[in-house]
Chain A
């Protein structure tokens, strides 16, 4: 069990509104990711679910029970902190068993549960150590172990991997995925790393300034971002956003034509991998070619278009300073209206 339901959740600090009415249903067993730029309020919302931050308005239900006023420990949620927050004066085993101890679980049962969690996380041999005797990755595992031991209805993660180095982050990511499959427990995971969001989440909520811009499955978000904010936020390198031409630039007009922009379309989004090199088409200058090994990112200047366009192409096709011709894949075009909202397929009619 682990259903979390948010209805009109709000948070104000004095006059400032930080969370502006969130409606969200997290299903039992789901891996929900909160992603968004820094300061958008994702940590705050997570902490409100945990009970570490009071709720200014709206209703939080966990497994159907109103939880607004429940003590953190009574909500059935366990949290993994970015800083790990291990108790330095306790061994790994004591750290992991602390919540059970506070709940009055007898010592033997406690040891058994800690042992089982340690096995799942491959940290059995660390149980007698103190946190200061562990590496960053090991501390991370212990922190997760401490959460697992409690058998919570919901796991809450606040950027748990951001203190690890790149390689460890990747391996912990797969580990977390495995753990989620094994435990089949609801997880709510805060990150500002879109790769983590896309790889881990069943569903992703993209936050911006205290509200949800879009909620959906990772590939939906990638292929059909509901608005320009999401389009811009998800995807690496960023999506190309091309303005409706107001100049008389032939290249810009030709590009707009090729993208099948119509009268009501204000801006068009095109993923870099959908912008191809072509024998003939719109002329562009390669301002910078970044070679990544299997592919190259081209930064292209098209006359009349604001900013640089990015194209992801097969590696080694061109060099910096070269003139090339480009052709967009018109079937993958995303059309946005004056308010920056995605226009349903009829944008080009």
Chain B
């Protein structure tokens, strides 16, 4: 109960911030919440189940293109495009996971990385149809949900917040369910889990598909809310980003993704406003974090202050 109350309070605070702060922050928050949804999906695989994927950009991009291409080519409206994006991410995870999950550890990292690179190259190769590196602008007719334009600050923020809230509450329910216990067991001691009647391959594939659906929904929302899809979203940096957010906020905590995404976003903003060497500053913060709080901020909170933190 306490956990649900904390999560609802966080959602209420985010909603208030988005509605009350000036428009500049409203847009930032919308971006942060979409990226946090992506990171929350990544967290289910990496933080809870211990699947260190280096290829989640392909799920994000699969969702983005599964939503944006029908919008661009056939004028699909936002709602079906969003659903198509979610399905696109899930299917991509199913197809690649079925192969990649035959490996583990470093091999799994490499195989997911290779798949993601292949997908990124495929987007460039079929540039006649995908818009390639330059990408394309989503037709504004497709950027309407329930009759309001997603291009305006407040509706865009509300759409991002709703997506994030849905994802957050679903992931809270998931990690507190029986299957959530299985996920953590696979991370902690896979061999023991196997000898307790758990099929590790099937369970991990299920997690990856859920994680892919999350990432796909985020990718689709990113295209529809910000009006652009392009090949750069399939690049390696979009596989690294959710990992950084999750490590910063706390891997294996439900709220870690949004905390990490928000801090990282404003840290980057701040750093680039005071120095051109902003990447250096960001890197420095990460090094400090890894040295002094390797479990991330909320991982530290869980270890020191509140053990039941989900």
Partners in one complex: no
Residues of B within 8 A of A (CB): none
Residues of A within 8 A of B (CB): none
